Copies of this chain bind each other. A is one copy, B any other.
């Protein structure tokens, strides 16, 4: 094997992967447009365009020549240090290739088309507050999800191949164990808090004009380090972040004028995702490695910035005077203490996105369990509303009042396959504290710096230990490497006990 041969083969691999990446990123632009600016009547042709791009990308990824090239390059990859860029590229390309070859291109094309039309049906159903509008689409989604899993015979649980798409290396059984452990801590904590006097959060539910909320949100993004030269914020029905490259990172928000939290914490959440993508090492940009490594690690960053930082005292020590300046009439007379308690109010609610830190994971666990039940065939889509209501009653003690605030609140099941859509949020919460604790150990001045508006201390640690690597390391490797141990609920549980123990005098 001559080294000039290797160079040529690596170049060929990179050229093939670049083409795949560009097709995928073109899809991402078309999806971003679909969710932000596309006129409603554009959906049918957009679905077809997305379907074509998905198929072309898949055909390239599953091309036998790519398989042969990866085989040829395997000894070279083995000869390199694990952390070498080329080794990682070959490793991740093989993983993507092996997953893709199980799935027919026709399925991929059909799924892309279905995602686009199902999502628009969801938007209609949500506006009409009527699950029935989108039910046939969800039935199709469940069918496609089951078919997808069947492309991977030999799975332990039918959800495993689906979870593997977003959280590579995690299995249903592992997640069930983690979630059961976590739940055993959350329920008593929630019960103890509910027994305490209710916190008054009326200060958050005054009238806050949209333009001013957006302006303040942008100022926060900027201070946290979001780079507007290489990214932007728009509005959409359901907030999301998408990256076409570290150089072009888009996030969206939505605003409620009678609720300060919706846009504010949503914006910080998406900023967390965006900071991750923007800090991926330039050498990995525009390659298969140039994206966040998993849903769980991605959510660890959105949830870290949203909650661990965004709902912390140091954060508001810096930002609260600025928020008061933006809303003097509404908040001029509200103390920082009152505000801090209000934004950390724990109260079981119907909505995941705006749920407090303690009950949030109960929402996720309901969804995760229902996804498994749908895939296992234990619950049919027609029985989903009942199953949903029943779980909200059991787990959170609440009556679900309508579809809009029930199983139409999130767009995930209407925008991708079922199974693997939600576990990342709770994995992210768990990991957020593991990463934060490691950062704090290395840089104990982080809280003091945050209180002075210097968020770059934390951001730099995260960039160095997490962000820069993109998909070079798996979530499991990254956690081990950055925190010195495996994923564990203990730090997160301790964090919640301490923070909410203090807030509620437990």
CB of A37, distance to nearest CB on chain B (Å): 6
Q: Is the CB of B39 within 8 A of A228?
A: yes
Indicate which residue in B26, B40, B41 contacts A53 across the interface (CB closer than 8 Å).
Answer: B26
- In Å, the complex CA distance between A40 and B227 comes to 11
Q: Decide yes or no whether A494 CB sits under 8 A from chain B.
A: no
Tally A residues with Cβ within 8 Å of B.
38
Query: This chain: how many copies in the complex?
Result: 2
Residues of B within 8 A of A229 (CB): 39-41
What mask results when residues 40 to 58 of chain A are scored 1 for a CB within 8 Å of chain B, else 0? 1110111011001100100
Q: Is the CB of A48 within 8 A of B30?
A: no
Indicate which residue in B39, B48, B245 contacts A42 across the interface (CB closer than 8 Å).
Answer: B245
Q: Is the CB of B230 within 8 A of A39?
A: yes
Q: Decide yes or no whether A285 CB sits under 8 A from chain B.
A: yes
Of A17-25, A178-186, A443-451, the one with at least 4 CB within 8 A of chain B:
A17-25
- In Å, the complex CA distance between A22 and B42 comes to 13
Indicate which residue in B44, B52, B228, B286 contacts A19 across the interface (CB closer than 8 Å).
Answer: B52
Q: Is the CB of A46 within 8 A of B228?
A: no
Indicate which residue in B30, B231, B245, B286 contacts A26 across the interface (CB closer than 8 Å).
Answer: B30
What mask results when residues 189 to 231 of chain A are scored 1 for a CB within 8 Å of chain B, else 0? 0000000000000000000000000000000000000011111
Residues of B within 8 A of A27 (CB): 26
CB of A17, distance to nearest CB on chain B (Å): 11
**A interface with B by C-beta (< 8 Å):** 18-19, 22-23, 25-27, 29-30, 32-33, 37-42, 44-46, 48-49, 52-53, 56, 227-232, 234, 244-245, 247-248, 285-286
Q: Which 10 A-B pairs have the closest CB atoms?
A: A42-B248, A22-B52, A41-B230, A45-B245, A41-B229, A22-B49, A26-B26, A41-B247, A39-B232, A45-B247
Known interface pairs A40-B229, A46-B248; 14 further A-B residue pairs with C-beta atoms within 8 A, sorted by A's residue number: A18-B52, A25-B49, A26-B27, A26-B30, A29-B29, A32-B33, A37-B37, A39-B228, A39-B248, A42-B244, A42-B247, A45-B248, A46-B244, A56-B56
> Can you name 29 A-B pairs with beta carbons within 8 Å?
A19-B52, A22-B48, A22-B53, A23-B52, A23-B56, A25-B45, A26-B26, A26-B27, A26-B30, A29-B29, A29-B33, A29-B49, A33-B33, A37-B37, A37-B232, A38-B248, A39-B229, A39-B248, A41-B230, A41-B247, A41-B248, A42-B230, A42-B248, A45-B244, A45-B245, A45-B286, A46-B244, A46-B248, A56-B56
